[in-house]
Structure 1
Amino acid sequence: MKIALIGYGKMGQAIEQVATGKGHEVVLKIDIDNAHELNSENAAKIDVAIEFTGPHSAFNNVMKCLELGIPVVCGSTGWLEHWDEVKTYCEKQNGTLIYASNYSIGVNLFFEVNKYLAGLMKSHADYSVSMEEIHHTQKKDAPSGTAITLAEQIMEQIVSKTKWVNGETTAANELSIISERTDPAPGTHKVKYSSAVDDIEIIHTAHNRQGFAGGAVLAAEFTAGKKGIYSMKEVLGL
């Protein structure tokens, strides 16, 4: 595949390493200084774009890719207030979009474990549920997109929790997410159920960025010959 990397920070560099190691070619690297190079002239030589920037630029980057007919894999979080607009435009353009709050294969398996455990716990009111997440200090959004995904999965099962909050809470209907930023920390997510007699915890800890990068490249490979909107659930066949 011929890949455009939109965002060439630490994650973009990790994706490049994985992609070239698998025989793919990175034909364009876009950062804040050369955004104008994401244009119709360069689009002709791009099979797929992988977008890892930030909450303030992701929406425009995704829309530009769809406008140019470039399949796009987006891993930026914190921009989903625009999701309905992106979804509508992707369908109008007959485009291809994969979005995930986390591309790590391990995290996506963790999502399935989280849903299953929440389903088991929903009838046990003696347990209270809370969450923690730790990331590096360069991460701009808090809580993380992964933590929000986990929280939404829990709230689908445990209906007494009607919203998540960033920080401690004493409200019975709120799900607490404690966000910590420290270096170096690629990402840790913990879900904890506590009662007077015991605790139950599930934890995913990333050791480096390779897991995220590998999943993003796998998603890019998945776009070949496809139209529509997908998630890592489809990519991994979960």
Structure 2
Amino acid sequence: MKIALLGYGKMGKVIERIALERGHEIVLKKDEFNTYDGLSTADVAIDFSVPTAAVSNISSCFNNNVPVVSGTTGWLEHFDEMVALCNEKQGGFISSSNFSLGVNIFFELNEYLAKIMSQFDSYKVTMEEIHHTQKLDAPSGTAISLAKGVIENSNYANWTLDQAKSNEIHIEAKRIGDVPGTHTVTYDSIVDSIELKHTAHNREGFALGAVIAAEWLAGKTGIYSMKDVLNLK
């Protein structure tokens, strides 16, 4: 399979190594200094760039009939535009805040726990996420996905980084050293606490999941999620 890498930072380099180990070919390594030359020859693109480049990268994929897997976060105010363009061009698209197989299982557990805990008003939910100091957006896209998973399965209405109201989930975002990503969902009452936690040990899990998603998406059209890739629906 021919893969275009859109974004060639730390994650892009790990994705490249894993893709090559799995027998794939890299036909483009796009960073801020080069063009999209070679994109049209790709079977699929993987976008792990920066928020300011994501829309251009994803649009270029659809305009070149290349399905795209995007793990870039912080640009989702343009998500509906990209979905519309994908549908117009009959493209293929997977966007996820986190491609780690473990995190996507964690998402499912989070939603299941939220359904159970919605019956018990004595518990208040809070979240904490810790990432490396180079991460540009806060809270993380993974933390936002976790909050949405709770909101969709409970009486909470919103999340906030500030002081939370009774119907809001407070997210504490920390930036420490070279932490790949730690996310904790806590249900706290006066008698006890329940914690659901995922700790990434390195970037390998994110990269492997992205390559697996690209392998699954190649040759397909439509809008999909990691639930489709991992058959979690």
User: Is the shorter-chain TM-score for this pair beyond 0.5, marking a shared fold?
Assistant: yes
Deviation per CA, 1:140-176, whole angstroms, max 9, x where unpaired?
Answer: 00000000000011011221x2110014x24212110
CA distance in 2, matches of 1:97, 1:156: 23
Per the alignment, residue 161 of structure 2 pairs with 166
Per the alignment, residue 82 of structure 2 pairs with 86
Tell me which amino acid in the other structure corresponds to 1:18.
I
Which stretch shows the higher mean deviation, 43-52 or 117-126? 43-52
Per the alignment, residue 212 of structure 2 pairs with 218
Per the alignment, residue 50 of structure 1 pairs with 46
Tell me which amino acid in the other structure corresponds to 1:162.
A
CA distance in 2, matches of 1:198, 1:223: 43
CA apart distance, 1:70: 1.0
| Structure 1 moving runs of 4+ over 4 Å | none
Tell me which amino acid in the other structure corresponds to 2:135.
K
CA apart distance, 1:185: 0.3
CA distance in 1, matches of 2:40, 2:8: 21
TM-score, with structure 2 as normaliser: 0.97
TM-score, with structure 1 as normaliser: 0.95
Deviation per CA, 1:72-95, whole angstroms, max 9, x where unpaired?
Answer: 110001111111111111001010
CA distance in 1, matches of 2:95, 2:137: 17
| Equivalent residue runs for 1:20-99 within 5 Å | 20-34=20-34, 36=35, 38-39=36-37, 42-99=38-95
CA distance in 1, matches of 2:10, 2:112: 33
Deviation per CA, 1:42-95, whole angstroms, max 9, x where unpaired?
Answer: 234211110001111111110111111111110001111111111111001010
Tell me which amino acid in the other structure corresponds to 2:23.
G
CA apart distance, 1:218: 0.1
Residues 1:112 and 2:99 aligned together: no
Q: Which runs of 5+ in 1 are unaligned?
A: none
Question: Is the contact between residue 216 and residue 229 of structure 2 (CA under 8 Å) also seen in structure 1?
Answer: yes
CA apart distance, 1:182: 0.8
Alignment size in residue pairs = 232
CA apart distance, 1:183: 1.1
Per the alignment, residue 120 of structure 2 pairs with 124
Residues 1:151 and 2:147 aligned together: yes
CA apart distance, 1:184: 1.5
CA distance in 1, matches of 2:71, 2:120: 35
| Percent identical residues | 54
CA distance in 2, matches of 1:170, 1:6: 37
CA RMSD, aligned part only? 0.9
Question: Is the contact between residue 40 and residue 65 of structure 2 (CA under 8 Å) also seen in structure 1?
Answer: no
